[in-house]
Structure formats: structure tokens, C-alpha cells
Structure 1
Amino acid sequence: MNVVADGKLNDSRIINIKDNNKKREFMLENLCCANCANKIENQVKNIPEIKTAYLNFLSKKLIVQLEDEEKLDCVIKKIEKIVHKIEPEVKVLYEMKNGELEKNEDGSEKKKYNIENIILGIGVLIYASAIIFKFQFRIELALYLISYLIIGQEVLLKAIKNIGRGQVFDENFLMCIASIGAFCIKQFPEAVAVMLFYRIGEYFQDRAVDHSRKSISDLMNIKPDFANVKSNGEIKKVDPEDVNVGDIILVKPGEKIPLDGEIVEGNSMIDTSALTGESLPREVSIDDEVLGGFINKNGVMSVKVTKAFGQSTVAKILDLVENASSKKAPTENFITKFARYYTPAVVVLSFMLAVLPPLLVTGATFSTWFYRALVFLVVSCPCALVISVPLGFFGGIGSASKNGILIKGGNYLEALNYVNTVVFDKTGTLTKGVFKVTKVKAYGNFKEEDVLKYASFAEAYSNHPIAVSILKAYNQEVERNLIKDYSEIPGKGIRATIDECEILAGNENFMSDKGILCEQVESVGTIVHVALNNSYVGYVIISDELREDSRKAVKDLKNQEIKKVAMLTGDNSLVGKKIAESIGLDEVYAELLPDEKVEKLEEIYNENGKNGKLIFVGDGINDAPVLARADVGVAMGGIGSDAAIEAADVVIMTDEPSKVSVAIKIARNTKKIVTQNIVFALGVKFIIMILGAVGIANIWEAVFGDVGVALIAVLNSMRTMKFDNE
């Protein structure tokens, strides 16, 4: 553990994220107030030396990005000052792992809670005796005061400290004013009850938040604890972060695979559900790639590490999910702003309620209206919303990750609610992207072997799946040293010179541009025409297989009342139309160059209207411009693909386009629960305020309107983590 003490930095943790900017991570131990977390975040953001900052209340992490690394020591002092001003009990820690934090808190916090519970129990006994037994007025008052001080000492001390620091409008101050006010008008039982029920409610609320933290932690418990490294004939158990690329690790049955790698010995069945959401195990053997976070089911495997832990798939997933809270949903931003003005407004209203009626209404007494104003004060705390709304979005993101869907922020999760148009790429998205030569036809004096040979020489330097399939079908060594003047014409074809002979390989438009007559082929597949010295040689047909759940993906989206499901492809019109008809697409746009895909998406976007959102689903490698232009870019086949994780707002960790509809379902479920919390919390509070103003509601009910509603809202938010896709 490295601690920031007296403004001095003992060590630092530098996080490398996708934009390669350094971010500093602090752990705020004992942070238990969501409202205070918002205040800390807002004030840290205003530090001039800080570029960006966000505080994840659930993980207790404050992550900041500096304008200038040389000013780190100055920034640390400012952060410490802000944190200690708002929450003096919070400790600012550096490079502390979650497990260590839990262990540290479990030891000290249990003792603290035990002592507090004993003291609280004594206060409750004194309070109960004052209610049950009939004592003289002075003795009764003394008992109520003693029980009040015992039960409310923590709240009173916090309120006094906060007032000294200029923080007046917090829940501690409101509870103190309400309870002291009740004493002033001789409502002794209610004065103590305010503190007692507030303490009980806070206790259960804290337990609920802790439980939700644990639930999210369990949901994302994919980080391996250790790695068995083979070294000089021995097996050493080390931290995954200490393993180097090229090391050989041993993975036994039942263990998590600690890092990304390639199997060099053994075979087994592996459980990929933690990363992909897939329930069925997968068989792997020598030369197969495995990822950190997979679970080895039965065999013993030796794996050669191909990525350091910081660059591994599991580390990137954890980083994306943990940092997703930095991109807040519009609803979260609204609640944060609302909370800033809500409490002061209610305090002003309560003051007016206490003062104006006795002055303006004949027969109105100050004590009556003062009591009603106290109800306003008690019910005004916005914690129910400040805690439950971010918790709901975080739970939704965690639930999505459990289903093999990475959503990079609450803003994207909320945007999925308003999607009415989904546009798919074809190759590698609706189809497997696994091409196979299904037909070769030669013309004139040429043979089929000649067509494949010339096509293979033309495609020799290309990594495109079509080129790979042609080379595989040729099944002979291509003498690349013979290839001269190689050039690729995007969206059309390839030109190359071999032994002073010009070879052209590409689509029909490419041949037409060169003045070469070729056969017009009507076939489902990609047609590569081949010409030698401007003489037509023949063509090769390469077919791509449709994914098993492409039809289901389109059907599910239409069942969700998505207005339009379309496809963009660079392939020929015939192939595009055949696929569109077979899976039920509304529209298909074919023979598009990369820049034309963006233009076509713009057209669809303009037709879509301002109220709806548009999703583009692509492979995350070749479709970056289109992914960036869409309201929500979804990358398919993201597992192990750095490019896919970088390019999109949402990453599907499996090759299933049907997961797009699952993401929309999770988003709608999350939004529904968050909306329930907002309506419920504000509804109950406003009802109690109105009833309190007319003299029907009392302080007991107001306490429920504060801590009781917060507890119910937190428990309701936890339902976002238990999404059922059935």
C-alpha cells in the first residue's frame, strides 16, 4: 500500500489508456456519502492543473489526468485538501488493490461498527425507558436528552464540523435542525426518533450500497489471482502483473487462465462465459489462442504468454468497465445538477413555511408551522437519487459485460434506449468473414489453374480474407520476388507486374475502367475478374457464409420496434440483395467504397430525424469512420481485437449480431429502473412535503421519506445487475 501523507507522494500508479495519456488513480477509503462524492469530483475538476477528473463512488476511485506531470506534488496537496475538507474521515490512498482495501476495511470497520452498535443500543434502551415509564418532566427531559446525544452524537459532530468548513446544506445539518427544532417545541419523542430512524436508515442504506459494490465486484470478478510460471524446471506462483511476454505458464483444471497466450502443450475444455457470456464450454488444443479470464475446465495446459497483463484482454475489459462511469448519462448529469439546487431550495421554502403563515394568517401559531417546516427539512436530502441513479447505470454496464457486451459509458447505455435505426456492415458482421473459393472459370486458351495462379500473384501482398482464400485455393508457393509495380486501387482491385506481364484482378468496374470486356456473372459471392496484358483470363467466385444468428438478430430488432434495419456493403448488388432477402433486412446499399459508406450513413442519419438514434455495427477494424459517425458505434468480433475495442462505443465480445438487441434490452431495463427510482423518490418526497405543509404528515414519515426511500431506491437499482435475457 502506498499512501499520500502530508502532501508527499511515496509512489504512483500510472494507467495507460487508449489515448496514451497518463492518468493517476487514488483510492478514497471510508467514502460512504454519494452526495459528498459528487462535491469532491466537482471541486477536483476545478483544479487548474487538472485536465479531467471523475470519481466512481461505487469503486471509491478518483482518477485524474494532469495538464503537466511536473505539477503532480502540487495537485496531490490540493486533492488531499479538498477531500479532507468535505470528508475528514476519508483516507487518500495510492496503488491499493480492491482486495487489499476490502481486507483493510473489514478489520477496522467491523470493530468500529461493533462499538457503534453497542453505544446505539444503550441510547435506544434509555429512549425506550423514557417512553414506557412515566417520570417527572425534568427526569423525562434528561432521559430524552441523554438518549438523543448518545444516538445522534456522530450526526451532531459531523454537522458542527461541516458548518465550520462552510458546508451547511447537508443531511447532517438538516437532521440536527429538525431534531433540535422538535425539542424546542417539546416534541421530545419525535426529536430523538428523527436521529434514531435516520441512523437506522443510514445503516441499512450503507449495507445496501456495500452489497451492491460486492455484487458488481463479483459480476466483474474476472481478474486472475496468480500465474504458475515455469522456470528452470520449477513452477513458481506469481502475480499476473509480474509475468513477461514469452514466459510459459501452467494452467491446471479449475484455474483461471491468467494472461493472453497460445497453447504450446496440452488440450482442454475452457469456460469463456466470464468474458463472452457464452454458457457452452469450448475445446482448445495446441496453437489455439486463449485469453486471460477464461477458466480451464479439465486438462492441464502450458501456455506461452503473448501479452503483458496491462495489455491483456481481461485488463482492458476491467479498465473499460471500471472507467465507464467517467462518461455519465444525461440522466446522471441532470440528477447531479438537480441535487445542487434542490436542498437549498427546500431549506428556503421551509423557512418561509415557518415564518410567513404566523405573520400573515390569523390564528396561526409559530409552533405549529415550525413543526411543519421541520418536515420539509427532514425530507429534503437528495441521497436517494444521488446514490441510486449512478448505481443503476453502473449495474446495467456490469450486467452487459456479464453478457459479453462492453458498453463504454452511461451516455452510450442511455443512448441505446432511443435507437430506431440499426445499420449493419456485411463482411465479418452478418457473415462470418471466412471466405472460400467456390468456383473458378477460365476463358479462351487459359485454364482454371492459370486463373488461380494469376489471381494469387495479384493478391500475394494482401491480408484481405478474399486474398487469403484465393491463396489457399491455389495451394502453391507464390514467388513474391517476381512481383513488381504492385498497386492497390481501393474498392476496385489490384494491378501488378510479373515477368513484364501486367496482371489485373478486381471487380467488374475495374475491368471496365481498363477497357477489358468481361462476363457479367450473377452469383451469390464475391467475383474477382482476372486479366493478363489486357486479355480477359476468367474469374473466381468467393463465397462468405452467413452467421448462424443473423436472422435472429434482425428478427429480435424488429420485435423491439426498431424502425429500420439496413446493411452497407462494398460487395456487389446481387450478393447484397440475396443476403437482405434471406435475413429480412429493410434496405441494402451495395458496391460502396469506404468513403461512400460514410456518405450513405449520413443520408440514413438525416432521414432518421432528430428524435431517434442510429447504431452502426461493424467489425471495428475497417469501419472506424462509420463507427465514429454513428450515434452508437458497435464493434463485432471484439474478443482479442485491440482495433475493435478502440474504435467503438460498444464492443460485442462474441461474433453474434443478436447481442445488439440484448444490449438494447439491457439499456431499456436500466432506464426503466432508473426512471422508477426518480419518480418514486421525488413523488414520495413531494407528497410528504405537501402533507407536512397541511399538517397531515409528521416527522416520522418525513424520516421514511429520506432514508427509507433511499434504501428502497438502492435495492431497486440492484435489479439492473440481474438482467434476464429470456
Structure 2
Amino acid sequence: MKTSENTQQLEKKSVYRVQGFTCTNCAAQFEQNVKALPGVKDAKVNFGASKISVEGEATIEELEKAGAFENLRLFPEKQRIVVEKESFWKKTTNIRTVISAVLLLVAWLIRDQYGEEHWLPVSLYAASILIGGFSLFLKGFKNLAVLRFDMNTLMTVAIIGAATIGEWGEGATVVFLFAISEALERYSMEKARQSISSLMDIAPKEATVRKNGQDIQIPVEDIQIGDIMIVKPGQKLAMDGEIVKGTSSINQAAITGESIPVTKSVGDEVFAGTLNEEGLLEVKVTKTVEDTTIAKIIHLVEEAQAERAPSQAFVDRFAKYYTPMIMLLALGVAVIPPLFFGGDWNAWVYEGLAILVVGCPCALVVSTPVAIVTAIGNAARNGVLIKGGIHLEEAGSLSAIAFDKTGTLTRGVPVVTDLIPLQSHSADECLSIAATLEKGSQHPLASAIVRKAEEEELSLPDVEDFSSITGKGVKATVNSSEYYIGSPRLFEELLSIGRMKGIQSQIEKLQHEGKTVMILGTSEQALALIAVADEVRETSKDVIQKLHAIGIKKTIMLTGDNKATAHAIGEKVGITDIKGELLPQDKLEAIKQLKKSGQRVGMVGDGVNDAPALATATVGIAMGGAGTDTALETADIALMADDLEKLPFTIKLSRKALQIIKQNITFSLAIKLIALLLVVPGWLTLWIAIFADMGATLIVTLNGLRLLRVRD
């Protein structure tokens, strides 16, 4: 019993927000420190979201002690933090950098008068090094004590080495430039993280709730399911809920990315963070603050930013071996020429120190995460949820996209267009029997028949022995007679060829008009043809054209509908390949075949009926993620609006991200290689080294931030 309790304690998982991260290396170091704490089983830092997940037992004091090298502060994930913006002049690191710069400038100005090696400029250089590099040296010496070689270690050794061989001026310059680049890197990462923090500020922190006949304002954490929330015109909704009184236009741009407000009335679902534009609304709260759609979006975006993309995994593996190799190379350059070839010790030690500086893997390590954090945040602000760096990269490499028809290319609300009696029964009789059979069915076409019967105010008799015939239709007993309703394929099995031949031309005529035909009948005869049409979305044709324009070679429609209807709709919207009369397993097989043919294929569906195909595709894309838990959970990417218009933007953003990641990795490695080659003629100086390293870091960070400019 005791062992079981201990195991439970160890497996306890806590999530904390972290303040003070400055670089990916520091985040990795903090993760290692936390893992080493007694009682902690595992820990995972999410640098993009500034969070840490801790599995096991550890107090906040212990965690902050593990992050003391960066002066990190931790808060429970759900605790509301009011961050006061600190002015530039109040930040200790910035004050030190300014003092260091002043001392360096004064030393430069007087060195010609006194000489480079005079005690006065040397003292000023030394003071500049100590003040500007204070926090750097603290980390560097701690790392050296445990033989840990990261950016801080390399820089510490290089600066001390420069001072030792009398290069005080260059040592001080390196410290100053390093401090400046660190400040710029912090600023850039904060800019990227704003993608998430802006999401967190979307929903109000308080709401007006009616309790005991009084309207009172309370924090959202105190609101319970079932409470009635009062939302005035011009106010944002604080919670998800259902309208119980009033009608208004709701601007849902924050959740779905739709710019046009949607009219909502009694019974409609509304989301936290959306804006009530016109009328007074009373909304019954349906979810707690932790479960609102916006809370789920924030959580999924943060989790997505923690997930390593393939390129990031490569960079992490490469950096693991790269830093020790640079240390060995620097040692070799500093020692081998003087020992074996009579080289000047000062000159070659200087070159070795320059290699240490240029070899810092800062630019390489930051090249991928900054692009992924920025792209995923930008997508979320535009109503697209990308659930990880791996899916971001894969979406950028898609060559084919498959679409479900119903509810994706079409509105998903079919209507009865034709009802043709074939025997002595009247149209109303046929419709009444058909609606009675379809009452128990979940198929979208069934709801069209039931709605039509309700519009005609027909009475529906009782039904007995109802059963579904998978992929073909249903059967049941109505008024003591057994009836079937379903696709022509079902009646081809039930009736003789001669009986079907008489109605085949009528069926084909309706199908060529883009309508789905169902037959009502018995096991002996067909009683009526019922044609149902699903309206094509106005945007579908435009979206398909945009996808072809940006280089998607194949667009495929996968539908259970008959081939004639599928072709009519497919040709109308401009789809290149059309496959009809598919069961769920056929859709899955179609995706597999596309992948076998070498295509990287995306599948767009509603996240429920197309789950197997979505899971098998290179990237599964769900439509209408807002308010749909299944879509948010099953798909790799969720389009929050129930509209395809966000799809070309998603592909464009993913491709741009992939392009920028490749640019960053190539540039980071190329600049290092060029700088290292300067060692051969002895041209590599500490100045060039620091510009190569810090300049590269700044360039890849700013390049990643360009993803904020990709617009829908």
C-alpha cells in the first residue's frame, strides 16, 4: 500500500510558467537541473511557451534554486500573473552593458595617447570585461567546474584567454558585442512568444453573472456551469455557452479567423473571446474556464511549440557532438602549430580562442525553434491550429490533398429536390414512410428527408425492427410491411435486373444533375425515387484554384456518394481526381494508394466520419474545430472556421516556415565554415568570430520572425 502511494506521488505531474528564459541552451540546462532534483522523475521544458512540466515531487523553491543560474521565477500554470513591464534602464543586465560600453569607449579614446599596454587603458578594458561579462562568467565558471561545455563556457574561456595573451581590447569588445546580441535575442524570442500571450488576452478575466436576481461581476475562475452570463453590446464573451435569450451579431475572428460577424440567436453556441456587436445576450455557461475553446486552443498551441520538428531533432543531435568537436579543434589549432611547426604561441592561441567564439552553436540551436514558435502562433491568430512542428513541416511538403465531399466541399446541409412516386402510392405517402424509416438514421441525407416531412407537416407512423445496412441504407417495418430505403446499389441486390432497368434512366438523369438518388421500396418493388442535393460552398472553387496555383499537383474528392453526383460536384469546383461510392475503408485504401505512389497527401474532413483516412494521411486536416472536441483531438491541423478558405493560407505558411528553417540551418553552418576556413591563412580574429557568431544568431532569429508577416 505504501509503495503504491509513493508511486502515485512520483507520477504526480505539475506544470509551471517560467519567467526569465534568455536562450535555448539555458532552457536545456534548467531542464537537466530539475531532472537531477531528488523526487523528480522527469521534467520537460517548453521553451516556446516558457513552461516546464515536472513529473514527481518538487517545491517551487527547489525549482527556482535549479534555475538560480538564470534567476528564473516559477508560477503554477493556472495562476494569473501580472507582469509589470520593466523599463530598459531598470534591467540590471542592460545597466551593466551600458557601463561596459562606456568603459570600452573611454579605453579606445585614450589608448593612442597612453599606448595599448599602458595600465590605464588595460584597467578600463578589464573593468569593462568584468562588469559586462559578470553573468556570463558566473555561468561559464559553474559549467567549467562540472566540465559542461556550452556557449557560456566557450565564451568564458575565449575572453579569459584573450586577456591572458594581452588582447584586452578585443576581449572587452567581445564581451560588449555578446551582451548586445543576448539582449537582441531575448527581444526577438519575446516577440515570437507574443503570438501566444496575445491569445491569452483574448477572453476577459471577469464577467457579469446573474445570481439571485442580481447582476454581479465576478472572476471567470468563480463562474460555474449553468450560470447565466449577461453580455452587453460591445463586450467580449468571457466563457463558452449557449444563448438562452437575445439575438446578436458575434464577431468570431479571434477563434475562427472569420472576419464577417455571424448572427446568433437562442440555442446557438458561442465562444469565449468573441465579440458581441449588437444586442443584449443572456448566455448559459456550458464549460469551465479551463475547458473553453480558447483555453484548449492556447493549450494545444503551447504543446505544439514544445513538439520537436524533424529539422529541430536533427539540429539537437548535431549540436550535441558539434560543441565538443569545436573544443578539440580549438585546442588543436592553439597547440599543434607551436609544438610541431615552430609557430608563435600567442598567434595560434589567439586563433584557437577565436575558434571557440565562432564555434558557439547559438545560431544553429535557435534557427528552428524561433521559426516554429512564430509560425504556429501566427496560424493560431488566423484561426488555424497546427498541432506541432512536425505537422507544420509536413504540411509544407504536401503534393496532393484529398477532400471529403459532404460538409467540406459542400455545405453539408442537403435538401430534398425531387420525389418521384413509381407505383400507386402518393408523394405524401412515400415521403411519410421514408421519413419514418430515416428517423433512426444518423446519415446527413436522412435528416434532409425528415426535415422535408416536417415542413409538409406529415404524420409519421410507428416503426418496428429498424436496422441499418452499412454503407447502403436502412430497413424497418412500418404498418406491418417491411420497407427499405437506400442507394441504388441496395436495390440492385434486392430486385431483379428487369425491374431496375425500368428506372435506371431516371436515376442516371438525376445523378448527372449532381443529385444523390435514394430509392424507397420493398424487397419486391421500388416505390419512389427521392433526389437529395447538397449545396456546394461558394468558396470551394476558389480554394481549389488557389491550391493548384501554389503548386498542389493533385486534388482528390473521396465520397460515399454515387459516381455521377461526385463527378458533377467535382467538376463544378475544379477537383482533378474524383472517386465516388466509397465506404470508410475505401477512403482509407485510397489514401494508402496515394502515399504508395510517392505522394505526400493531406486529407481534409470533419474529424469524425473520416477518422481512419485522417489518421493515415501525411497530414490530417479537420474542418470546423471551434466547439468540436473530436476535431481538435484527432487532426494534425484544425481549421477553426467551418470553411476551407484557411487551407491555402495554411499551406503557404507551412511552406514559408520550411523554407526559412532550411535557410537558417544552411546559413548557420555556412557562416561557421567560412569563419573556420579563415584560420588557415591566420585571418580569423576575435572581432570576426564574434560578428560571425552573434551576427548569425541575430540574422536567423530575425529571419524566423518574418513568418509573422505571412497573411491570410
Do they fold alike, i.e. is TM over 0.5?
Answer: yes
Taking a change above 3 Å as real, the CA distance of residues 114 and 621 of structure 1, as seen in their structure-2 partners, is same
Separation of aligned partners in 1, 2:215 and 2:144: 59
- State how far apart, in whole Å, the 2-side matches of 1:126 and 1:458 are: 92
Aligned pair 1:63/2:53, yes or no?
yes
SS in 2 for 1:588: strand
**C-alpha displacement of 1:507:** 0.9
Q: Measured at CA, do residues 645 and 306 of structure 1 come closer, stay the same or move farther in structure 2, by a change above 3 Å?
A: same
SS at match of 2:678: helix
CA contact (8 A) 2:248 2:264 kept: yes
1:316 and 2:303 aligned: no
| Alignment match, 1:196 | 176
- Distance, in Å, in 1 between the alignment partners of 2:468 and 2:41 is 43
Read off the aligned partner of 2:609 and give its amino acid letter: N
The letter of the residue matching 1:146 is A
Q: How far is 1:223 from its partner? A: 3.4
Contact 1:220–1:402, Cα closer than 8 Å, also in 2: no
Cα distance between partner residues in 2 of 1:311 and 1:262 = 15
Cα distance in structure 2, aligned partners of 1:31 and 1:461: 57
Residue of structure 2 equivalent to 1:144: 125
SS at match of 1:419: coil
Q: 2:18 matched to which residue of 1?
A: 28
Q: What letter matches 2:403 in structure 1?
A: F
**Which residues in structure 2 correspond to 1:71-86 (within 5 Å)?**
72-73=56-57, 76=58, 84=65
Equivalent position of 2:162 in the other structure: 182
Structure 1 residue 582, shift from structure 2 partner: 1.5
Superposed CA deviations along residues 570-604 of structure 1, whole A, max 9, x for unmatched, are 11111011112222222111111112221222222
1:453 aligns with 2:453: no
Alignment of 1:580 with 2:580, yes or no, is: no
Moved more, 140-149 or 627-636: 140-149
CA contact (8 A) 2:49 2:305 kept: no
Moved more, 583-592 or 118-127: 118-127
CA distance in 2, matches of 1:482, 1:295: 46
Gap runs ≥5 in structure 1: 1-11, 13-20, 67-71
Deviation digits for residues 82-108 of structure 1 (CA, Å, limit 9, x no counterpart): 8755753444634245861634x7499
What SS class does the counterpart of residue 534 from structure 2 fall into?
Answer: strand
Q: Deviations over 1:412-452 (max 9, x none)?
A: 00001221111111111111111100000112211111110
Superposed CA offset, 1:681-711 (max 9, x none): 2222222222244222311121112222212
Q: Distance in 2 between matches of 1:552 and 1:387?
A: 38
The match for 2:283 among 298, 303, 309 is 303
Correspondence list, 1:408-557, <5 A: 408-475=387-454, 482-515=462-495, 517-518=499-500, 519-520=503-504, 521-522=507-508, 523=510, 524-532=514-522, 534-557=524-547
Instruction: Say which SS state the counterpart of residue 114 (structure 2) adopts.
Output: coil
Counterpart for residue 646 of structure 1: 633
Contact 1:372 1:693 in 2 (8 A): no
Percent identity, aligned pairs only?
37
**Following the alignment from structure 2 to structure 1, what is the Cα–Cα distance between the partners of residues 488 and 408?**
24
Give 1:44 shift: 6.4
Q: Deviations over 1:8-31 (max 9, x none)?
A: xxxx9xxxxxxxx98531223322
2:369 to 364, 373, 390: 390
Letter in 2 for 1:144: Y
Q: Secondary structure at the match of 1:528?
A: strand
Structure 1 pair 47–650 and aligned structure 2 pair: CA distance change class (3 A): farther
> 2:346: which partner in 1?
367
Structure 2 residue 667 is matched with structure 1 residue 680: yes
Q: CA deviation at 1:205?
A: 2.1
CA distance in 1, matches of 2:270, 2:66: 48
The amino acid across from 1:148 in the alignment is: I
Which amino acid in 2 is paired with 1:571?
D
Distance of 2:696 and 2:80 partners within structure 1: 31
Change in 2 beyond 3 A, CA 1:81/1:147: same
CA drift at 1:481: 7.9
- CA RMSD, Structure 1 to Structure 2 (Å): 2.9
1:278-314 alpha-carbon deviations (Å, 9 max, x no partner): 2222233333321112112233322111222222211
Determine the structure 2 residue equivalent to 1:705. 692
CA contact (8 A) 1:392 1:717 kept: yes
Q: 1:264 to 1:631 in 2, by over 3 A?
A: same
Q: Distance in 2 between matches of 1:663 and 1:338?
A: 29
1:39 Cα offset (Å):
4.1
Q: 1:46 to 1:606 in 2, by over 3 A?
A: farther
What CA deviation, in whole Å up to 9, does each residue of 1:188-222 have, x standing for no partner?
Answer: 21122121221222122222222332354226643
Counterparts of 1:169 and 1:498, CA distance in 2 = 80
The alpha carbon displacement at 1:618 in A equals 0.8
Query: TM-score scaled by structure 1?
Result: 0.89
1:331 aligns with 2:311: yes
8 Å CA contact 1:385, 1:677 repeated in 2? yes
Equivalent position of 1:668 in the other structure: 655
Which of 202-211 and 335-344 deviates more?
202-211
SS at match of 1:238: strand
* Cα shift at 1:538: 0.8
Letter in 1 for 2:631: A
Matched residue of 2:414: which SS?
strand
Residue type matched to 2:399 in 1?
N
In the alignment, residue 448 of structure 1 is paired with which amino acid? A
Q: Which residue of 2 aligns with 1:281?
A: 261
Q: 1:426 to 1:234 in 2, by over 3 A?
A: same
Distance 1:534 1:326 in 2: 62
CA separation in 2, counterparts of 1:109 and 1:55?
30
Gaps of 5+ in 2: 1-8
Change (3 A) 1:57 1:110: farther
Q: CA deviation at 1:239?
A: 2.5
In 2, distance between residues paired with 1:200 and 1:587?
A: 55
| Paired positions, count | 692
2:596 match: 606
Report Cα offsets for 1:364-387 as digits up to 9, x if no partner: 211111111111011111122322
Report the counterpart of residue 7 of structure 1 in structure 2. none
- Greater mean alpha carbon deviation, residues 706-715 or residues 641-650: 706-715
Letter in 1 for 2:476: A
Local SS of the residue matching 2:490: helix
Amino acid at match of 2:313: N
2:301–2:385: 8 Å Cα contact kept in structure 1? yes
In 2: Cα distance, 1:446 partner to 1:22 partner: 67
Deviation at 1:123, TM superposition (A): 4.0
Q: Distance in 2 between matches of 1:603 and 1:396?
A: 31
- Name the stretch that deviates more: 528-537 or 115-124: 115-124
Cα deviation code 1:474-509 (max 9, x no counterpart): 126787782111100111110111232111111112
Q: Does 1:212 align with 2:189?
A: no
Q: Do the aligned residues in 2 keep the contact of 1:569 with 1:589 (CA within 8 Å)?
A: yes
Secondary structure, in 3 states, of the residue corresponding to 1:262?
strand
Q: Distance in 2 between matches of 1:22 and 1:460?
A: 48
Equivalent residues of 2:20, 2:73 under 8 A apart: no
Asked if residue 379 in structure 1 is aligned to residue 358 in structure 2, the reply is: yes
Deviates more, 1:707-716 or 1:631-640: 707-716
Q: Could you tell me which amino acid in structure 2 is paired with residue 163 of structure 1?
A: L
Kindly provide the amino acid, as one letter, of the partner of residue 302 in structure 1: E
